Structure 1
Amino acid sequence: MWMTTAGWANKITEITLFVEDLHRSKVFYQETLELEIIYEDESCAVFDHGNTSINLLDQSNAHELIEPAQVGHLGDGARFQFTIQVPDVDRVCDELKLRGVKLLNGPITRPWGRRTACFSDPDGHLWEIAQVLE
């Protein structure tokens, strides 16, 4: 992998998501995905997701991090998807539905040997849950 040969770390340690309503998104990640907050202030909430921290940043504070790039807004269209490996996609989908999550698709058995489903958080960030089929 090019990152390891260049001397870079070989894992993603933080993901920052720019959100329109910090409180709404914080509730989603706490209650729906059952993640634990490890840091928060008036402009962000950081969640523990194993070896990766998910930082929800109020989008009004995002420009200073990425300028001169522009901050996209909800409705601009998907630009990426996060994938979480799970042992049983159907069971996780049932749990998500009980928590009020509307699946965008799935569960679907894919020709490349995975069973997947996709949903979005309140700001349109796409999440896929995937099960490796044997």
Structure 2
Amino acid sequence: MFSNEIEVVTLFVDDIGAARQFYENVFRPQIIYQDDVSAVLKFSGTLINLLQASEAPELVTPLAVAASGSGTRMLLTIKVENVDAVCTELTKRGATILNGPIDRPWGRRTAAFADPSGHVWEVAQEIA
């Protein structure tokens, strides 16, 4: 039976070493597996697989793997209690805030940052 539970999100990265270092510094996840071309990181109930982009074609053929500089095509959001405090900590850990913190009309205060390959992450808190 088909499930709607997301188990793994795979991010194609340009430099596995730089990506691994970024994720370890910023998120401090548990490392489930790693080798020369990948790293599987545990984020609560979801796994994030960092995969060297050169290894990705076999997973998505006949589609092409887009270049990281071609523009953002996804946003991953993490719910937090205090966006401003999290942004301060993210900056200390080496992340560059792209935008925010900003109050959004849909009832969230958000801020965004990107990994070295351009995958954008957002932290968001509920506001009244």
TM-score (norm 2): 0.96
| 1:56 maps onto 2:77 in alignment | no
C-alpha separation in 2, matches of 1:110 and 1:101: 22
| 1:66 maps onto 2:67 in alignment | no
Matched AA of 1:60 = S
Matched AA of 2:85 = R
Q: How many positions carry a matched residue from both structures?
A: 128
| 1:100 maps onto 2:94 in alignment | yes
Bigger RCO (CA 8 Å, 6+ sep): 2
Is the 8 Å Cα contact of residues 112 and 122 (structure 2) preserved in structure 1? yes
| 1:44 maps onto 2:38 in alignment | yes
Matched AA of 2:70 = D
C-alpha separation in 2, matches of 1:132 and 1:10: 24
**How far did 1:100 drift?**
2.1
Identity, % of aligned positions: 48
- Map of 1:127 onto structure 2: 121
**How far did 1:18 drift?**
0.6
**How far did 1:8 drift?**
2.3
Query: Counterparts in 2 of 1:72-91, with a 5 A limit?
Result: 72-91=66-85
TM-score (norm 1): 0.92
Matched AA of 2:103 = T
Where does structure 1 lack aligned partners over 5 or more consecutive residues? Answer: 1-6
Q: Structure 1 runs of 4+ off > 4 angstroms?
A: none
1:28 is aligned, of 22, 28, 32, to 22
C-alpha separation in 1, matches of 2:89 and 2:37: 30
Where does structure 2 lack aligned partners over 5 or more consecutive residues? Answer: none
- What secondary structure is seen at the aligned counterpart in 2 of 1:100? coil
| Greater mean deviation of Cα atoms: 32-41 or 44-53 | 32-41
- What secondary structure is seen at the aligned counterpart in 1 of 2:112? strand
Is the 8 Å Cα contact of residues 25 and 94 (structure 2) preserved in structure 1? no
C-alpha separation in 2, matches of 1:130 and 1:66: 31
